[in-house]
Structure 1
Amino acid sequence: MNHPLHPVRRALRARRKFTALSMVMLAGLASMPLAAQTAVWPTQPIRLIVSQSAGGSIDIAARLLAQRLAEPLGVNVVVDNRPGANGLIAGEAGARATDGHTFLMTSPSALAINQHVYKKLPYEVQRDFAAVTQTTSIAFMLAVPVASPYRTTADLVAAARARPDAVKYASAGIGNQSHLAAELLAGAAGARMLHVPYKGEAPAITDLVGGQVDFIFGTMPALLAQVRAGKLRALAVAQPNRAAAAPDIPTTHEQGVSQVDVTGWTGIVAPIAMSPAAISRMHAEVTRILQIADVRETLAKAGAEPVGSSPAQFAAFIRSETLKWGDAVRRAGIVPE
């Protein structure tokens, strides 16, 4: 005669079936392609911290990417401008983010220069960040107000030599590439110039247009529109070869100051604890967007060259840039504070 299973036996048998089913499901998940496993990311809006105010070269590229990223990722991508302190404010916010959906888009200042300019940082690049990709390479331009008497780099240098500390230059902050480029020019010319640091590139350019300062070395994406609008005059691009976006502007090398050779860039990093799957997805989407023809055209017209490197390539590039700008800081005579 068959007897019904004892309640305890029924429970044990059910548990064994559940355990076996769970193991089958886990085995199936392990064999799924990576893309299927990471499909759950992102699960909330993505925050892209930018180390400049609106209108700066990083902000321009960030907003272009944010607009294009929203559709493939299925969530909004919010640009969070955190200007000031040469990228320290944005860098600290990026390093401390723990939500798995926050990235930092920044420049050499935050990732390769600040450790040579400040004795103490609120973050350590190699310890606190994981590289995602270098997004652009950017030409630097020497510009003056359109009403300025200076029409060549030689005019500017001659005035600085004749009147020490009378010629004022703006920068996006102490230790920023715009600061270092001007100090390299002063060193090459044997002249003293007065430094006026700003909280980012955009306000510095605003005062330059207004004539409150005499010149700036700034990024081409931020300056070129003002030059084309007739509000600023470009004297030089700070590199050996003329820029494709503005081939009529001579180089610093052509004008006898080859020591002033400055190339900017933008890149995206993530907090070190972010999952490799999230970094991989973000990298894939950003580099795909950087290959789109109209995106490349928009960036090129602004003076920015799309890059789209791998995380490993970008990490190595940051290390090499850190060494390069350490040397530049020492040559410029900047003492860490």
Structure 2
Amino acid sequence: MRSVPRRPLLQATLALPGLAAAGLAAPGGAGAQPGWPNRPVTFVMPVAPGGPGDVIGRPLAQHLQAALGQPCVIDNRPGAGGTIALDYALRSRPDGHTLVVYSNSTYSIAPHLYPMPYDNATAFAPVALIAQAPSFVCTHRSVPAATLPELLALLRREPETLSFATAGIGFTSHLATELFMALSGTKMLHVPYRGGAPAAQALSAGEVQVNFMEAALVRSLLPAGHIRALAVTSRTRHPLLPDIPTIEEAGVPGFESATYWAMVAPAGVPAPVQARLAEELLRWMALPATQERLTQAGFLPIGGGPAALARHMTEDTAKWGEIIRARGIRIA
């Protein structure tokens, strides 16, 4: 292969016997489209190689390569909020040989920030919901707040005196912080960086005071003692850091945010191909090794076939669109 809420770790939709309820055939029953696949299958990914997407994309490609009997090639096409990758995928034939593994920064957020020549809701066919990656509210050790309630009290007492880092304007880390400020009635100053790693380094160095960081970065930085993790953005606690409460538990009712990962195909993909892809993806997710790999990388496996993903995409797109409009977020 070349590079070109506590919610259960796996919901019931992930169990293979439940595929029929998701509109899919049982294992072995989803007849493949005749002649598919008859050439390499390409995973278009709207992120650069070496990032969190590799934790999902590469082992999934290996699984499908073995299951389908054709090479699975990863084609990284980052840029413009992921719209470059989506546009490229839509130029391919909708025959199941070109797929997109994406995060909601690409699908649910980008349409509200970038000009789009197509409608995501009709341009793509949902295949499967994979996992979510929640973030942790982290502060530099110099901030006089050891808990989220203490941080909220500080922010309300001294608005706009603290700054928060993000991976960039419009990224999930940015919108999660905007949602947090909207629901908690607080204000901080935004300092965007070019990626999650530089933003994390800025917090560790004390250049900023707050950062919503994903679990892998948090675990790598906590031992040094330069940062504190106060709360997690998911509705349930994270198994890697189970002692850290959720934002909702810690005093902000209704808060939930995470980066979601899923697979879609260009609209028009044959239904038997869509069903077979979903079946194989959910079979891969049911493997203990997959669950362990995703969890240790900071993901919470979810699972769900085309219908579950379609509902999620609609809800997630509406949620972030509302925040972007209400907060007046624009790409400079």
Which TM-score band (shorter chain)?
Answer: 0.7 to 0.9
Runs (5+) with no aligned partner, structure 1: 1-32
Q: What letter matches 2:109 in structure 1?
A: I
Determine the structure 2 residue equivalent to 1:38: 33
Determine the structure 2 residue equivalent to 1:17: none
In 2, Cα distance between equivalents of 1:228 and 1:63: 29
Can you list the C-alpha shifts for 1:248-285, whole angstroms capped at 9, x where unaligned? Answer: 11221232223532133210011114333433332222
Judge which range, 295-304 or 193-202, deviates more. 193-202
Q: Does the CA contact (< 8 Å) of 2:140 and 2:226 recur in 1? A: yes
Q: Which has the higher contact order (CA 8 A, sep 6+)?
A: 2
Root mean square deviation, CA, Å: 3.3
1:321 aligns with 2:316: yes
TM-score, scaled relative to structure 1: 0.75
1:95 aligns with 2:55: no
Determine the structure 2 residue equivalent to 1:28: none
Q: Does the CA contact (< 8 Å) of 2:167 and 2:194 recur in 1? A: yes
Determine the structure 1 residue equivalent to 2:104: 108
Q: What letter matches 1:315 in structure 2?
A: A
In 1, Cα distance between equivalents of 2:45 and 2:227: 25
Q: Does the CA contact (< 8 Å) of 1:52 and 1:58 recur in 2? A: yes
**Shift of residue 141 of structure 1?**
1.6
How does 1:186-205 map onto structure 2 within 5 Å? 186-205=181-200
Determine the structure 2 residue equivalent to 1:64: 59
Runs (5+) with no aligned partner, structure 2: 1-27
Determine the structure 2 residue equivalent to 1:242: 237
Determine the structure 2 residue equivalent to 1:170: 165
CA gap 1:281/1:143 in 2 versus in 1, 3 angstroms: same
**Shift of residue 233 of structure 1?**
3.3
In 2, Cα distance between equivalents of 1:284 and 1:219: 29
Determine the structure 2 residue equivalent to 1:83: 78
**Shift of residue 72 of structure 1?**
1.8
Aligned residues: 304
Can you list the C-alpha shifts for 1:188-242, whole angstroms capped at 9, x where unaligned? Answer: 4544322233454345435444544433223335544444676753221013432
In 2, Cα distance between equivalents of 1:206 and 1:174: 17
Determine the structure 1 residue equivalent to 2:295: 300
Judge which range, 250-259 or 143-152, deviates more. 143-152
Q: What letter matches 1:125 in structure 2?
A: N
In 1, Cα distance between equivalents of 2:223 and 2:285: 25
Judge which range, 121-130 or 95-104, deviates more. 95-104
In 2, Cα distance between equivalents of 1:279 and 1:198: 38
**Shift of residue 150 of structure 1?**
5.2
**Shift of residue 331 of structure 1?**
4.2
**Shift of residue 84 of structure 1?**
3.3
In 1, Cα distance between equivalents of 2:236 and 2:198: 28
In 2, Cα distance between equivalents of 1:189 and 1:39: 55
Determine the structure 2 residue equivalent to 1:183: 178
Determine the structure 2 residue equivalent to 1:258: 253
Q: Does the CA contact (< 8 Å) of 1:63 and 1:79 recur in 2? A: yes
**Shift of residue 288 of structure 1?**
0.9
Q: What letter matches 1:117 in structure 2?
A: L
Q: Does the CA contact (< 8 Å) of 1:143 and 1:232 recur in 2? A: yes
DSSP 3-state at the match of 2:36 = coil
Matched-pair identity in %: 35
Determine the structure 2 residue equivalent to 1:133: 128
Q: What letter matches 1:107 in structure 2?
A: S
In 2, Cα distance between equivalents of 1:145 and 1:55: 26
